[in-house]
């Protein structure tokens, strides 16, 4: 099958979160199975260009209709660790992607509407006719809309699979986007059964457009799919999902085990596997050295991820102090989110703990360093308020790092409590708590510290259970291929 991924991110060149890992990992697995996969991305100024091999213009003259004119684009081609990537570079005063960051601009909705339109123009102009276009998150929600409304004649047989990684960001914007993309007909598209937002009257909701127009819609775990449909986790889209329940489901993400593999990891000083797990402690030493933590016989707890309200940062804050009070060490590596009040808080905390030999706060995300943190830590806290999938705990388990997570979204499907629940002993792989208050995470951490300190052999079994579980892309790719086949023949 020929599949084109259209996405705002692809790891490691353009990654803000797990979405980037998914686009890379799923594409990789599909290619291993013999499918042809191409990835279309914006050409961001701030990409990690050192990870793109043989970058060169592949299409010089792409003219993308925009308002009542056209925007000239160059499409670049390059390999990202083996994946075939096409990068769209518009030449216009708007300078859509030639900016410092990927996201967080007032015109984000227009930037990505343009991206969707350009991606389709590119398929049309280059003669590429994938069987399936797989697009991701609100940024590409307008793609199936534009495909159906404007490109059906040229790109008639393309089917769209639309994956939602985060319902919290839906790309709400004014109807101007309808003029910019030449969809026009404001009343028609603003109708509640098309792109009109259910609560913000008069606003265009690109993610809703994706749900309504795509041939199949997924989110990244079964539990989150149910939460979104029946609970309030879909941030206002529950009704729409319910309406389209026949084409909506959960597919749990996988992890690319070629990238996240402690046995072959080039970013850690002492590679190890389940049978040489004692070598993990060499990495713990290296991590301590790297962050100038003192050597001691104590558990090392990590938080890795965006510094964002979604992640339950007040509980991360609490876990940090609890860990220090219990004689442990704490490492945080979190990416700063612009326009986010929490940020200042952790910067302040960093200054406050500057000379503390048992903690380190790294307020930026560094891919290579993330490998060392996961390899060096004993425990990983993920107290998210909501978590569609939660890739970090899956990666952590691969490195024998025991997750301490809140029971929400995909983490309900992947992390099973050591002491409670109905899972067989050899599937229990972490600690799970329910509530979002301090006591909840306290009791989970306390249980974890207790096992680490008093029953090291049992703690080791927990580590091994995590390492042995299969969270590769193997099963999820089967699942996506079934979906692709299903929509192709509809």
Comparing CB distances to ligand GLC, the nearer of 312 and 376 is 312
Binders of ligand GLC among 126-155, rule CB under 6 A? none
Check: CB of residue 14 under 8 Å from CB of residue 102: yes
> Measured from the CB atom, is 391 or 415 closer to ligand GLC?
391
Minimum CB distance to ligand GLC, residue 389 (Å): 3
Task: Considering the complex, state which of residue 42 and residue 305 has its C-beta at the smaller distance from ligand GLC.
Answer: 305
CB of 391 to ligand GLC, least distance (A): 4
Query: By C-beta, is 376 or 388 nearer to ligand GLC?
Result: 388
Residue 377: CB minimum distance to ligand GLC, A = 19
> By C-beta, is 110 or 392 nearer to ligand GLC?
392
Q: Cβ closer to ligand GLC: 253 or 343?
A: 253
Give whichever of 219 and 283 is closer to ligand GLC, judged by the CB atom: 219
Give me the least distance between CB of 55 and ligand GLC, in Å please.
Answer: 26
Minimal distance, residue 310 CB to ligand GLC, in Å: 6
Task: Report the nearest approach of ligand GLC to the CB of residue 478 (Å).
Answer: 18
Q: Which H or E element spans position 371? A: helix 367-376
For the record, the structure tokens of 25 come out as 């990992």
Shortest approach of ligand GLC to residue 435 CB, angstroms? 19
Residue pair 396/374 in contact (Cβ under 8 Å)? The answer is yes
Where in 283-325 does DSSP place strands (E)? 300-306
> Residue 166, interface with ligand GLC (CB under 6 A)?
yes
373-432: contacts with ligand GLC (CB under 6 A): 387-391
Block residue for tokens 């979604």 = 310
Q: Which is nearer to ligand GLC, 268 or 389 (CB)?
A: 389
If the CB atoms of residues 166 and 337 are measured against ligand GLC, the closer one turns out to be: 166
Here the tokens at position 267 are 């970013």
Measured from the CB atom, the residue of 138 and 346 that comes closer to ligand GLC is 138
Binding mask 333-372 for ligand GLC (x = CB under 6 A): ----------------------------------------
CB of residue 453 to ligand GLC, shortest distance in Å:
31
Could you give the CA distance from residue 184 to residue 187 in angstroms, rounded to a whole number? Answer: 9
Binding-residue pattern over the window 174 to 193 for ligand GLC, x denoting contact by CB under 6 A: --------------------
Q: How far is the CB of 466 from ligand GLC (least distance, A)?
A: 17
Q: What CA–CA distances, in Å, run from 223 to 73, 249, 252, 383? A: 41, 10, 9, 17
CA gap 349, 155 in Å, rounded? 53
In eight-state DSSP terms, residue 198 is S
Whole-angstrom Cα distance, residue 307 to residue 320?
Answer: 14
Nearest residue to ligand GLC by CB is: 18
Q: Extract the tokens encoding 326.
A: 């219990």
Q: How many CB atoms lie within 10 A of CB 293?
A: 22
Please state, in angstroms and as integers, the Cα–Cα distance from residue 151 to each residue in 33, 66, 143, 454, following that order.
Answer: 30, 15, 10, 64
- Interface residues for ligand GLC in 3-22 (CB under 6 A)? 17-19, 22
Q: In Å, how far from its chain's centre is CA 367?
A: 14
**How far is Cα of residue 71 from the mean position of the Cα atoms in its chain?**
30
Asked, as a colleague might, if the bond just before 12 is cis with ω within 30 of 0, I would say yes
Q: Binding string, 234-263, against ligand GLC, x = CB under 6 A?
A: -------------------x----------
Contact 441, 318 (CB under 8 A): yes
Tell me, residue by residue from 197 to 226, as one string, x for binding to ligand GLC by CB under 6 A and - for no binding: -----------------------x------
Is 344 in contact with 363 (CB distance < 8 Å)? no
By CB under 6 A, the count of residues binding ligand GLC is 13
**Please, what is the minimum distance in Å from the beta carbon of residue 8 to ligand GLC?**
12
Distance CA 214, CA 225 (A): 16
Residue 386 CA: distances (Å) to CA of 174, 411, 447: 28, 9, 23
Contact status, residue 147 vs residue 157, Cβ threshold 8 Å: no
Cα–Cα distance, 462 to 427 (Å, whole number): 9
Binding site for ligand GLC (CB under 6 A): 17-19, 22, 165-166, 220, 253, 387-391
């Amino acid at each position: 099958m020929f599949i084109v991924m259209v996405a705002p991110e692809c790891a490691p060149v353009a990654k803000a979160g797990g979405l980037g890992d998914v686009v890379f990992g799923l594409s990789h697995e599909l290619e291993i199975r013999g499918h042809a996969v191409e990835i279309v991305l914006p050409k961001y100024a701030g990409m990690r260009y050192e990870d793109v091999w043989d970058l060169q213009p592949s299409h010089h003259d792409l003219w993308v209709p925009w308002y009542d004119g056209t925007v000239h684009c160059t499409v670049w081609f390059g390999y990202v660790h083996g994946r075939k990537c096409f990068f769209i570079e518009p030449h216009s005063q708007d300078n859509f992607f030639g900016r410092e960051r990927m996201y967080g601009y007032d015109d984000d909705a227009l930037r990505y509407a343009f991206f969707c339109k350009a991606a389709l123009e590119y398929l049309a102009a280059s003669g590429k006719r994938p069987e399936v276009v797989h697009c991701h998150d609100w940024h590409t929600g307008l793609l199936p809309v534009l495909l159906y409304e404007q490109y059906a004649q040229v790109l008639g047989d393309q089917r769209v699979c639309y994956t939602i990684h985060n319902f919290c960001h839906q790309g709400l914007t004014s109807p101007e986007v309808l003029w910019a993309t030449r969809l026009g007909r404001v009343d028609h598209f603003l109708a509640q059964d098309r792109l009109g937002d259910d609560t913000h009257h008069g606003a265009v909701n690109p993610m809703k457009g994706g749900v309504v127009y795509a041939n199949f819609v997924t989110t990244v775990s079964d539990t989150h799919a149910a939460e979104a449909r029946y609970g309030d986790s879909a941030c206002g889209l529950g009704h729409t999902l319910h309406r389209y329940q026949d084409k909506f489901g959960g597919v749990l993400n996988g992890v690319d085990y070629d990238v996240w593999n402690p046995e072959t990891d080039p970013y850690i000083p002492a590679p190890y596997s389940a049978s040489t797990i004692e070598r993990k402690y060499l990495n713990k030493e290296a991590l301590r050295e790297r962050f100038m933590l003192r050597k001691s016989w104590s558990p090392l707890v990590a938080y890795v991820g965006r510094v964002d309200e979604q992640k339950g940062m007040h509980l991360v804050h609490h876990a940090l102090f609890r860990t220090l009070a219990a004689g442990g060490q704490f490492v945080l590596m979190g990416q700063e989110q612009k326009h986010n009040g929490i940020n200042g808080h952790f910067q302040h905390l960093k200054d406050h703990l500057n000379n503390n030999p048992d903690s380190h706060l790294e307020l930026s995300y560094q891919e290579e360093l993330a490998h060392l943190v996961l390899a060096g830590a004993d425990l990983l806290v993920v107290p998210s308020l909501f978590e569609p999938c939660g890739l970090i705990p899956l990666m952590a388990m691969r490195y024998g790092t025991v997750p301490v997570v809140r029971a929400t979204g995909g983490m309900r499907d992947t992390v099973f409590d050591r002491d409670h629940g109905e899972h067989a002993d050899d599937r229990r792989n972490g600690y799970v708590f329910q509530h979002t208050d301090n006591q909840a995470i306290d009791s989970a951490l306390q249980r974890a510290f207790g096992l680490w300190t008093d029953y090291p052999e049992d703690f080791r079994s927990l580590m091994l259970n995590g390492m042995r579980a299969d969270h590769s892309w193997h099963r999820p790719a089967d699942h996506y291929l079934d979906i692709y086949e299903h929509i192709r023949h509809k």
